[in-house]
Chains A and B, each alone.
Chain A
């Protein structure tokens, strides 16, 4: 095949670029510990989310030294907890939080605004993501997948509070 030498050079440069891109993804994951959402959260029966052991009383639980589990139900058009009238998801500062988010109706999204915490919430699946929070702060959360006519209202907040201001009943239990 007759290819101009400039184009041969560009072909090689393009392949180098592609390999560089893939390498960046792998390297940054290895160095920073960024992990992909996957099937680790397991399945759930959509019709019985409210009877599920962990989702019947969603909210934040203390499960280890600095470790917390947060169970959140996404539904048309609120997060439970997270949105009014259930109040913010309250988390103590300097903690590691394992979010378990599921939907009891349609496909939703769960994104902590202005951060890299972002996942789809698909009925029948539990999205499990681990996030480290440092000092006390406030974050917004929103649903970023169209979920019906009230989609634009589906937002809420996360309050990261000083450790001494958080207690076990304060998880934003709904």
Chain B
């Protein structure tokens, strides 16, 4: 399958996965934002809470 479709060869040394870097950075931002939203809005705003 894949071998017929191959259009160009990229070796190890010249390969910088910039697309992966972009995707993973976006994921990181989503995680941090969602984490803060969950804590501030869903959890802390959801009282009463167990305090002892």
Chain A residues near B (Cβ < 8 Å):
4, 6, 10, 13, 17, 20-21, 24, 28, 32-37, 98, 112, 114-119, 129-133
Contact = CB atoms under 8 A, between A and B. Distances in A.
A133 B47 CA distance: 9
B25 to A, nearest CB: 8
A69 B31 CA distance: 40
A114 B24 contact: no
Q: Is the interface of B mostly helix, strand, loop or mixed?
A: helix
B21 interface: yes
B51 A35 contact: yes
Contact of B51 (A6, A119, A130): A130
Contact of A129 (B46, B47, B52): B52
B44 interface: yes
Interface residues of B, number: 19
Contact of A112 (B16, B35, B48, B52): B48
A6 B50 contact: no
A20 to B, nearest CB: 8
Nearest to A16: B28
Contacts of A115: 46-49
B11 interface: no
Contact of B50 (A4, A20, A24, A34): A34
Contacts of A130: 50-52
Contacts of B48: 112, 115-117, 131-133
A116 B28 contact: no
A4 B16 CA distance: 8
A17 B49 contact: no
